[in-house]
Structure 1
Amino acid sequence: MESQKLFQEFEAISSKEWKQKIQFELKGADYNETLVWESLEGIKVKPFYHADEFETNTQVNTQVTQFKIVQNIFVHDVTKSNKKALDSLQRGAESIRFTIENESVIIKDLMQNLPLDNNHYFFYLPFLSIDFVNQINDFATKNKANFSIQIDPIGHLVKEGNWFTNLDTDFNILNQIVAKTNLPFVNLQTHIYQNAGANIIQQLAYTLAHANEYFNRINWSVESNSKITITIEIAVGTHYFFEIAKLRALRLLFEILAKEYHPNIKCHILATPTKRNKTLYDYNVNMLRTTTECMSAILGGADSVANLAYDALYHKDNEFGDRISRNQLLVLKNESYFDKVNNPADGAYYIETITEQLAEKALQLFKDIEANGGFITQLIEGTIQRKIKESATKEQELFDSGKEILLGTNKYPNKNDRMKDDLELFPFVKTHSRKTLITPIIEKRLAEKLEQERLAQEE
């Protein structure tokens, strides 16, 4: 039986004809005012996109079939952390990200009986120590383990306002680490930009500028044939298609920039849902938010995804919250088949258009940052902080006016909700006066002020 081409008896309709039909149906209403809307990034979104508006597709290689489910574990007690890691892997996690509190942790004890053959382990270090890196490297070499160390002095500066020691010393240590390990060790903690209120173009440009400081200051051997991997931790927001495009644009821009420095630099994108839109009241809605954010992360091409527990704002780590957040990813992978097709966004004219526009605007902002001294210089001058604050204020005003909606918080709130007696953690911005080199970039949720008012009114 000969195969038939569907719809071949119908004539093709051009974008011009579609627009004319839409304008007719609008009965005099203005096309642009009625149907075209503008994002916070200044991108005008049309009601439809058509093949005749494209010459070539944006080529972004996203290996969606290989994305890994990550479990975050804060190492306070080595024995308990080891047990939790083993349990998480048995329950569906494929990678573990340990946050190591201090240098007293013994890696051999932490990794006892954990499977090494098919699992990837991240070690986030909020300190700089060559000896500790050597300990991780020695274990990985001896056991042929797939380890990534996560060190980010610039991220520490951004968050805390100070270097670990100072700029020269911190980068001197990084360059010593280069000579001692083949493990990936450079990490970009870029999720703070999204969580602090930066728009998508700023997030992309600041991530590039953040990376560029490492490219310029770390002495990787250009002659080396070994692959250099930089981990980028990025937060994924609530704007579904824009977030897919954001990750695609990030990979595209990173590859363009990295090729200027070394032929074998690649990025490993570790995505997690944003905290900015998460809420204290009607907290179960957080599960809906994190589900769509994880979907965006996967479809956008994240290499690894670490979900955020629905109660992470106000509860300490707990088995139930961890299990639910992990199961969300397991459902997406094993029941929704999100891991079956690579490059799933290819050919989606809307997403490809946004990808191109975000990449172009972010690249222009990145060039502007570099022309004005680079990322570290602009942090010291306060330019980056000021721009993020401007963007965050704009978004906050939209939330306060009800134009930016968080269901259950500023839209259809449940007046019977009571949270005061359920708070194990302080869910708001903490202030701590100290002397800093720069003004730190502070993460802040949209709903904080409203939630504080509601807590104060609880009986």
Structure 2
Amino acid sequence: MCDFIMNDFEPSSAAAWKQKIQFELQGADYNKTLLTKTNEGITIKPFYHLDDFEKITIPSAEINPKICKKVVISNEKQANLEAIKAFRNGVNSLKFVADTIFNIDEVFRNLLNKNIEFHFQLNFLSEEFLLKLIEFLSNEMSYLNIDIIGNLAKTGNWYKNLNTDFKTIENLLQKNNSKFILSVNANIYQNAGANTVQQVAYALAHVNEYFTKFDANIASKIQFNFATGSNYFFEISKIRAFRYLYNLILSKYNTSANAQIYSEPSLRNKTLFHKITNTFRSNTEIESAVLGGSNTISNEFSSEELLQNNLLKNTQHIVKGTYYIEAITKQITEKALTIFKEIEKSGGFLSQLKEGTIQRKIKENAQKEQTQFESRTLVLVGANKFQNKITSLKEDVDKNLLQKKKARKTLIIPITTKRLSEKLELKKLKNEA
């Protein structure tokens, strides 16, 4: 039937489309009028056509990603109850966040042997505790997510010192050959203001430091953590570009591994007031993560109901043949690879962190976005445009975003989360006080 209908229409080439557009512009310059340059230096065209379509092969990802609930361990019994409730509500993945060692038996009571995927965000490094945790979860799918380089980037310090931290990782890798031990927390860069190209490049340079230290055969023990923002198609393309480049780099080491990607909504664009707007933003960010090919999706700021939507979970085939997404993916790939090569030529990621080069580049992009936010070129509904009146600070404030920053001595300049609306919100809070 489709062929029968389409046979009545002559195919039109990309050149014919462009010629028609130029005629309609009535002398206006095509490039200046219709081509858009993004902060990343990516060019967006007014149309995409099969004639100039260049497809790159992206390694396959999960069709039905896991749904993850974050549980903070401040009280083991409470954390256990929260985790059980999330599981009963349909969550099949849990991420436990802890600042100190905890009672493992209490936290995991009635949670084992239920096909739950366990993730960890441990803000400490204890080899003894980690070995106990690994042994306890020996029959479960678990991701320790230890990222000593990420900790240095985020806090400005090692857990103990460079040699001790790397030795701890080495011991854990040797004693636990089959477990996911390491992670690369690329969410740090997005939440601080890095653009999509920088995030991909820094994630690659970040993991390459681990390859240099331990060999690329550890690739099967690494999980990548990305934060997805609200630039819908760019965020889809970002994850796809990373998958492609990661595969490319591993091929240079004569090894292979399918990247395990954990995605969570960005903090960068979240607002302190009117929590519901954060939910709306997160919904599209979650869709981007799914369509990009993430293995596990955090439901932070969102709900289990959205993530359980089977239509959402089975729509990755939509990106196949979409010329716009393919074109953006290719541009992100090319630009990120250029940055990655520059970092490696300059001594590697750790070297550039110590020099402050990575921090400076992120800050430059973050400031560019901040200027766009303040001039309302970059719009956050409810923050810098269509602002809603605050009815009650207690009800309207998202307390999870109120982070107290402690001044401390650091080895390097830390890469810290910086929300676009912080300055504006501080002004509001002063006026309401």
TM-score tier (shorter) = over 0.9
The one-letter code sitting in structure 2 at the alignment partner of 1:294 is I
Is 1:146 aligned to 2:141, yes or no? Answer: yes
Query: What's the % identity of the aligned pairs?
Result: 41
The one-letter code sitting in structure 2 at the alignment partner of 1:206 is Y
Task: Name the SS for the 2:319 alignment partner.
Answer: coil
Matched positions, count: 432
CA-to-partner distance for each residue in 1:183-211, whole Å, 9 max, x for gaps?
10101111010111111111111110110
Is 1:239 aligned to 2:217, yes or no? Answer: no
Q: Name 1:305's counterpart in structure 2.
A: 297
Structure 2: 5+ residue runs without aligned partners? none
Partners of 1:83 and 1:285 lie apart in 2 by: 28
Q: Name 1:202's counterpart in structure 2.
A: 198
Q: Name 1:382's counterpart in structure 2.
A: 356
- 1:100 counterpart (92, 98, 101): 98
Task: Name the SS for the 1:204 alignment partner.
Answer: helix
Q: Name 1:316's counterpart in structure 2.
A: none
Is the 1:232–1:267 contact (alpha carbons within 8 Å) kept by the matching residues of 2? yes
Q: Compute the TM-score of the two structures, normalised by the length of structure 1.
A: 0.89
Is 1:60 aligned to 2:41, yes or no? Answer: no
Is 1:395 aligned to 2:393, yes or no? Answer: no
Task: Name the SS for the 2:321 alignment partner.
Answer: coil
Q: Name 2:211's counterpart in structure 1.
A: 215
Q: Quote the offset at 1:98 in angstroms.
A: 0.9
Q: Name 1:129's counterpart in structure 2.
A: 126
CA-to-partner distance for each residue in 1:126-146, whole Å, 9 max, x for gaps?
2222212211221223xx211
Partners of 2:142 and 2:273 lie apart in 1 by: 38
| TM-align CA RMSD | 2.1
Is the 1:61–1:343 contact (alpha carbons within 8 Å) kept by the matching residues of 2? no
Q: 1:402 to 1:417 in 2, by over 3 A?
A: farther
Q: 1:454 to 1:305 in 2, by over 3 A?
A: same
Is the 1:116–1:146 contact (alpha carbons within 8 Å) kept by the matching residues of 2? no
393-402 or 114-123: which moved more?
Answer: 114-123
Q: Name 1:41's counterpart in structure 2.
A: 40
Q: Quote the offset at 1:233 in angstroms.
A: 0.8
The one-letter code sitting in structure 2 at the alignment partner of 1:11 is E
Q: Quote the offset at 1:283 in angstroms.
A: 3.2
Partners of 1:417 and 1:84 lie apart in 2 by: 30
Q: Name 1:313's counterpart in structure 2.
A: none
- 1:80 counterpart (53, 62, 78): 78
Structure 1: 5+ residue runs without aligned partners? 310-323
* Structure-to-structure mapping, 1:392-431, within 5 angstroms: 392-419=366-393, 423=397, 425=399, 427=401, 430-431=404-405
The one-letter code sitting in structure 2 at the alignment partner of 1:365 is I
Q: Quote the offset at 1:106 in angstroms.
A: 2.7
**Structure 1 residue runs of 4 or more that deviate by more than 6 Å after TM superposition:** none
Q: Quote the offset at 1:328 in angstroms.
A: 2.5
- 1:252 counterpart (239, 244, 249): 244
Partners of 1:351 and 1:423 lie apart in 2 by: 36
CA-to-partner distance for each residue in 1:109-162, whole Å, 9 max, x for gaps?
321211424221112222222212211221223xx2111211011111011100
Is 1:280 aligned to 2:245, yes or no? Answer: no
The one-letter code sitting in structure 2 at the alignment partner of 1:217 is K
Q: 1:443 to 1:162 in 2, by over 3 A?
A: same
Task: Name the SS for the 2:8 alignment partner.
Answer: coil
Partners of 1:426 and 1:265 lie apart in 2 by: 35
Is the 2:274–2:396 contact (alpha carbons within 8 Å) kept by the matching residues of 1? no
Task: Name the SS for the 1:185 alignment partner.
Answer: strand
Partners of 2:276 and 2:396 lie apart in 1 by: 14
CA-to-partner distance for each residue in 1:23-81, whole Å, 9 max, x for gaps?
22223333222221111101110010000102x52111343422111001111111111
Q: 1:419 to 1:262 in 2, by over 3 A?
A: farther
Q: 1:422 to 1:44 in 2, by over 3 A?
A: closer
Is the 2:273–2:398 contact (alpha carbons within 8 Å) kept by the matching residues of 1? no
Q: Compute the TM-score of the two structures, normalised by the length of structure 2.
A: 0.94
Partners of 2:2 and 2:363 lie apart in 1 by: 58
Is the 2:151–2:159 contact (alpha carbons within 8 Å) kept by the matching residues of 1? yes
Is the 1:64–1:341 contact (alpha carbons within 8 Å) kept by the matching residues of 2? no
The one-letter code sitting in structure 2 at the alignment partner of 1:327 is E
Q: 1:420 to 1:401 in 2, by over 3 A?
A: farther
Q: Name 2:325's counterpart in structure 1.
A: 351
The one-letter code sitting in structure 2 at the alignment partner of 1:250 is F
Is the 1:405–1:411 contact (alpha carbons within 8 Å) kept by the matching residues of 2? yes
Is the 2:292–2:316 contact (alpha carbons within 8 Å) kept by the matching residues of 1? no
Q: Name 2:307's counterpart in structure 1.
A: 329
Partners of 1:135 and 1:5 lie apart in 2 by: 66
